[in-house]
Chains A and B, each alone.
Chain A
């Protein structure tokens, strides 16, 4: 059982939906993003997704691209991202952290060394956008062996034939990308999402969290209502980009989590 498994067991007992937030580590700088991350649990966040900055985020829209650029310009690295997670973990033993990013910084560090360091820093799961099941031997299988969840993305193009392969080595939860597109782009309709969630749950036996295009408390609620939870990323990152104070960012997060939790 990882912290992620515990969290979902807990939420199931309470009959609550999960609210998952994404921010980019080191955006706009280490201290500010650490302050935001530390405030997330009190703002109702059940699972923290921490973006690992990368120069070429091919699945991300401008909002998250620019967040990554700000972080990199501020000197953020993979190691500092792990340091940030560790600093959070010192004060919070229960809120799961999922590291989300692209493979090259991890590959560059070396998979084995990375997994030891990530586990040690208190990371619970990984979402690596450019590692489909076809490349499971790269990181997915070693990560599971090291006790980390490897969370897969399922998308509208993942058909029934492919779905079993996609969920096969997945653990923790499945992240359903509700649209074909990049982060921060179009929004999903709850009516379209509902049957997809059922399909993925049936195939995986895991909780299904839905993301991409959710940017208001109302949508957070509507999407959470038809899934096991909802992820919001670009909308929160936009507040940070606009220079909102840590308090204002967290107040916005609270409104989104209230939406999800009222579903």
Chain B
């Protein structure tokens, strides 16, 4: 495929910001000039060596890239099948992949002369990453976070405050990531001159899905090199968890034209992908619609009203998915599956016990799918999952789910 230009999966989006029929620019007129300006500035920066030189310098010295590619030997032995590698993006400064993208957007914001940065956050990892980089550059930072998430991700709320950010709890809707994104957009419409909206995933109006993917693609590029060094070849299967889909797109994108590399995205199945919609599996359980500036698969009712998803993981609790995933799904280049809360919790515990790594609940979903398929695969099959975040932020949620009182350990 790589040498067949017409079949490349890496050429999107088109000039209208579309991946097939997905993506686009469904925003109010007030925002339209702003996203056009952003697109122009990003197109310019993308081909500017000094932009990437600044990124790489910060990735190396501030974030700690490249992150290791780690062979999880005990987990591999335990599962008794495929070889399991973990891309250790949880070792990044601030504890997740989110900072890869934030650095890119903040460097861009500085170039554009913007002084006020706004962001939405679910698990708080994107908020923490944004607050961190804003502190480093002395920029004002306002983070919108659903009131429900403020509660279940309290450690990250305090982190953001320590970093000097203002955290605005959002009470509209059910108070999760979707509602935080609505309020961030409302802020942007109001403060158009000085404000840069730093979106945390591969969603939103064009150019965000492509731009965030490009910034996160450092993950997959490193995996290519590291896997080639370790195994002398590319992995057979890539697996990543999907909220909006940024860590997954970052891992997948550099491999899209390697037809022998299988690609699996793992959505949050919550209590199960059922009629009651107690899940966040937009591809598995949703249908195409338009929200937050793009057309993609959405959880919605028959009337086109958006439904609140459900997941134990705040970072996956989003009723949509990045438009490029919607397209990869429809053209069949990637496969998408759902993992329940219960399965994710089991994977979380197993990872702690066997590998000495406390994973975030988000990559625990990816790991749970690894646990499902690895035993059935031959020993020379190479699986690479994205360990995109560490679990420090989740220990209270997990303790509660497992029936522990934190006080018991005192």
On whether the beta carbons of B304 and A78 are closer than 8 Å, the reply is yes
Pick from B32, B291, B295: contact of A132, CB below 8 A.
Answer: B32
On whether the beta carbons of B33 and A180 are closer than 8 Å, the reply is no
Write the chain A residue with the least CB distance to B32: A132
Interface: A61 (CB within 8 A): yes
On whether the beta carbons of B186 and A182 are closer than 8 Å, the reply is yes
Write the chain A residue with the least CB distance to B206: A134
On whether the beta carbons of A104 and B30 are closer than 8 Å, the reply is no
Which residues of chain B have C-beta atoms less than 8 A from A107's C-beta? 289-290, 295, 304
Task: Given A78-B303, A104-B306, check contact A177 B289 (CB 8 Å).
Answer: no
Write the chain B residue with the least CB distance to A159: B33
Task: Given A134-B32, A180-B30, A185-B190, check contact A103 B290 (CB 8 Å).
Answer: yes
On whether the beta carbons of B303 and A180 are closer than 8 Å, the reply is no
Pick from A58, A134, A153, A166: contact of B292, CB below 8 A.
Answer: A58
Interface: A93 (CB within 8 A): no
On whether the beta carbons of A130 and B190 are closer than 8 Å, the reply is no
What's the least CB distance linking B318 to chain A, in Å?
12
Pick from B26, B192, B293, B295: contact of A180, CB below 8 A.
Answer: B192
Docked complex: B173-208 residues within 8 A CB-CB of A: 173, 178, 182, 185-186, 189-192
Docked complex: B64-116 residues within 8 A CB-CB of A: none
A159 to B292, CA, bound (A): 24
Interface: A217 (CB within 8 A): no
Interface flags for A57-72 (1: CB within 8 Å of B; 0: not) read 1111110010000001
Interface: B25 (CB within 8 A): yes
Interface: A158 (CB within 8 A): yes
On whether the beta carbons of A158 and B304 are closer than 8 Å, the reply is no
Which residues of chain A have C-beta atoms less than 8 A from B290's C-beta? 102-104, 107, 130
Which residues of chain A have C-beta atoms less than 8 A from B28's C-beta? 58-59, 129-130, 132, 153, 155
Which residues of chain A have C-beta atoms less than 8 A from B182's C-beta? 56-58
Interface: B300 (CB within 8 A): yes
On whether the beta carbons of B30 and A157 are closer than 8 Å, the reply is yes
Which residues of chain A have C-beta atoms less than 8 A from B30's C-beta? 59, 153, 155-157, 177, 180
Interface flags for A185-205 (1: CB within 8 Å of B; 0: not) read 100000000000000000000
Write the chain B residue with the least CB distance to A103: B290
Which of A105, A132, A166, A182 has the most chain B CB atoms closer than 10 A to its own CB? A132
Docked complex: B27-65 residues within 8 A CB-CB of A: 27-34
On whether the beta carbons of A182 and B289 are closer than 8 Å, the reply is no
Which residues of chain B have C-beta atoms less than 8 A from A129's C-beta? 28
Docked complex: A51-98 residues within 8 A CB-CB of B: 53-62, 65, 72, 77-79
What's the least CB distance linking B27 to chain A, in Å?
6
Q: For the side of the interface on A, what is the size category?
A: 35 or more
Interface: B305 (CB within 8 A): yes
Interface: A106 (CB within 8 A): yes
What's the least CB distance linking B373 to chain A, in Å?
35
A130 to B205, CA, bound (A): 11
What's the least CB distance linking A181 to chain B, in Å?
4
Write the chain B residue with the least CB distance to A107: B290
Which residues of chain B have C-beta atoms less than 8 A from A58's C-beta? 28, 182, 185-186, 189, 292
What's the least CB distance linking B116 to chain A, in Å?
14
On whether the beta carbons of A131 and B186 are closer than 8 Å, the reply is no
What's the least CB distance linking A116 to chain B, in Å?
17
A132 to B290, CA, bound (A): 13
A133 to B314, CA, bound (A): 35
Interface: B24 (CB within 8 A): yes
Interface flags for A138-166 (1: CB within 8 Å of B; 0: not) read 00000000000000111111110010001
What's the least CB distance linking B303 to chain A, in Å?
5
Task: Given A56-B173, A56-B291, check contact A108 B300 (CB 8 Å).
Answer: yes
A178 to B282, CA, bound (A): 37
Which residues of chain B have C-beta atoms less than 8 A from A155's C-beta? 28-30
Interface: B8 (CB within 8 A): no
Interface: B276 (CB within 8 A): no
Which residues of chain B have C-beta atoms less than 8 A from A59's C-beta? 28, 30, 186, 189
On whether the beta carbons of B172 and A65 are closer than 8 Å, the reply is yes
A154 to B304, CA, bound (A): 26
Which residues of chain A have C-beta atoms less than 8 A from B173's C-beta? 55-56
Write the chain B residue with the least CB distance to A81: B303
Task: Given A55-B173, A131-B26, A157-B33, check contact A181 B189 (CB 8 Å).
Answer: yes
A60 to B190, CA, bound (A): 11
26 contacts between A and B (CB under 8 A): A56-B292, A58-B292, A59-B30, A61-B186, A77-B303, A78-B303, A103-B26, A104-B291, A105-B304, A105-B305, A107-B289, A108-B302, A108-B304, A109-B303, A109-B304, A130-B28, A130-B290, A133-B32, A153-B28, A153-B29, A156-B30, A157-B30, A162-B32, A177-B30, A180-B30, A181-B189
**Chain B residues engaging chain A, CB cutoff 8 angstroms:** 16, 24-34, 172-173, 178, 182, 185-186, 189-192, 289-293, 295, 298, 300, 302-306
**Chain A residues engaging chain B, CB cutoff 8 angstroms:** 53-62, 65, 72, 77-79, 102-109, 129-135, 152-159, 162, 166, 177, 180-182, 185
Sample of 8 further A-B pairs with CB below 8 A, known A104-B290, A108-B304, A162-B33: A55-B305, A103-B26, A105-B305, A132-B25, A152-B29, A156-B30, A158-B33, A181-B189
4 closest residue pairs by CB, A with B: A108-B304, A105-B304, A181-B190, A155-B30
